[in-house]
Structure 1
């Protein structure tokens, strides 16, 4: 269904503007969480805008047992089997700001999105250097990934269509309000809670989206066992990766543009640990556009 991944050479990031007034204020700093009953209660100080998974749920993959465990209580020896997958949503596009459904349509970053890409790149450059960076081949994700690669001094970006956003069929390019009137059947399918519901016009079901992006995740992990990798993708895709990694903990936060999530994945057992979800602490200068389309349950 999808062509093979390709690589691109990183380019110099575009210049960033200094401010924007239409974003909401950052959320209060600090959070605490309780671990599973087997481990002690831990208090963790987090950066402004970050969201930490309160309890870790590991799903069944290739016969691995379903377990609940805390990242704070995982022994260092056990932790070494995991690949640290840093998942970044692409920067803002004009279509995000205009609340237009993008899906597989190839919108580019706007100026704010380019600022956000620079901000997340600088944040990641101060952390452990990754072994590789993978990205959806859609322009908004690929440009975000190239900016990260340039600032983090990574040699190339591997573009993989399996990391694309969900295909939304006939309502791609429309706002939800227009979709109700112009493509009512496709709108109804898009808003359906049935995970096997495909969208008229070639759109994917949520199950199809999950199958391709989760398969891609494990393919990447297989190549980078015990290493750190960056994965740049889209709101709906990232929500499906979270759902796979933490099936008993619904995601109640929005995946904002260039937010950072971290999932530890064992290449040997398939176990997943959600270490962080939706961190926007690096966006204090640009902020996050709360009413932008995408990143929530209707993400596209």
Structure 2
């Protein structure tokens, strides 16, 4: 036994050969609140988002101390992670992992969800298609790189988490990422057709077994710590237009 952590109020052990990943969605941003698609573009945490980051940090500081804290390289995730690291008194700085960044959604980035079907029909179709290997097209020269397919997102996201898990066997670590990444990880691992709504500031706990090379979800979309702060009820739902 290495330590004791808490999932949904129940104490449990993080055993040798198992890595515990606390996967957190970043706090609410100005674009989340306005229904604008972020993708890999930057958008700052708003007032609610900072309060959510503080509430996440307060909650996690009362649980098993993490060995390390990892984050996407986008500022909304990094700011959330830094708040957690400070409160949890983590000895090391936040470790930035670019592979944890949000999906590149091509020409959809920067648009409001309600206007994309009319203005970007091909990109809209690729995003909502059940054909998971379709890359989302990019038509603007100022957008660097092409849009990702859902399969590409799943592959890089799960690979990044497995790399983190392999370095932290017998330990708990915190990973701050994005709604699209969390959805991809959940669906890739569980093979379920949907991950449901994923709220800003949600805490999600996963175990990775080194021996079995298998992921198990211990909790999903837990927002109990946000009771006094609140969150956008629509959350992130990549299965529908109502984001």
Which category of TM-score, normalised to the shorter sequence, fits these structures?
Answer: 0.7 to 0.9
Task: Specify which of 95, 99, 116 is matched with residue 179 of structure 1.
Answer: 116
TM-score by length of 2: 0.87
The answer to which of 264-273 and 193-202 deviates more is 264-273
What is the alpha-carbon distance in structure 1 between the residues aligned to residue 238 and residue 65 of structure 2?
29
Indicate the structure with greater helix content: 2
Query: Deviation per CA, 1:65-110, whole angstroms, max 9, x where unpaired?
Result: xxxxxxx9xxx79x53210000000000010011111000011111
Query: Deviation per CA, 1:166-189, whole angstroms, max 9, x where unpaired?
Result: 100001000122212221111111
Per-residue deviation, 1:298 = 5.2
Note the residue ranges of structure 2 that are not aligned, 5 or more in a row: 1-6, 139-145
What is the alpha-carbon distance in structure 1 between the residues aligned to residue 199 and residue 183 of structure 2?
11
Per-residue deviation, 1:46 = 4.9
How is 1:130-169 mapped onto 2 (pairs within 5 angstroms)? 130-154=66-90, 155-169=92-106
Q: Tell me the residue number matched to 2:37.
A: 101
Task: Specify which of 178, 181, 196 is matched with residue 237 of structure 1.
Answer: 181
What's the C-alpha RMSD, in Å, of the aligned pairs? 2.1
Q: Tell me the residue number matched to 1:19.
A: none
1:198 to 1:296, Cα distance in 2 relative to 1, 3 A: closer
What is the alpha-carbon distance in structure 1 between the residues aligned to residue 18 and residue 8 of structure 2?
22
TM-score by length of 1: 0.71
What is the alpha-carbon distance in structure 2 between the residues aligned to residue 132 and residue 164 of structure 1?
18
Instruction: Give the count of matched residue pairs.
Output: 226
Is the Cα contact below 8 Å between 2:183 and 2:195 reproduced in 1? no
The structure with the largest alpha-carbon Rg is 1
Is the Cα contact below 8 Å between 2:30 and 2:46 reproduced in 1? yes
What is the alpha-carbon distance in structure 1 between the residues aligned to residue 119 and residue 110 of structure 2?
12
How is 1:171-210 mapped onto 2 (pairs within 5 angstroms)? 171-201=108-138, 202-210=146-154
Note the residue ranges of structure 1 that are not aligned, 5 or more in a row: 1-44, 48-71
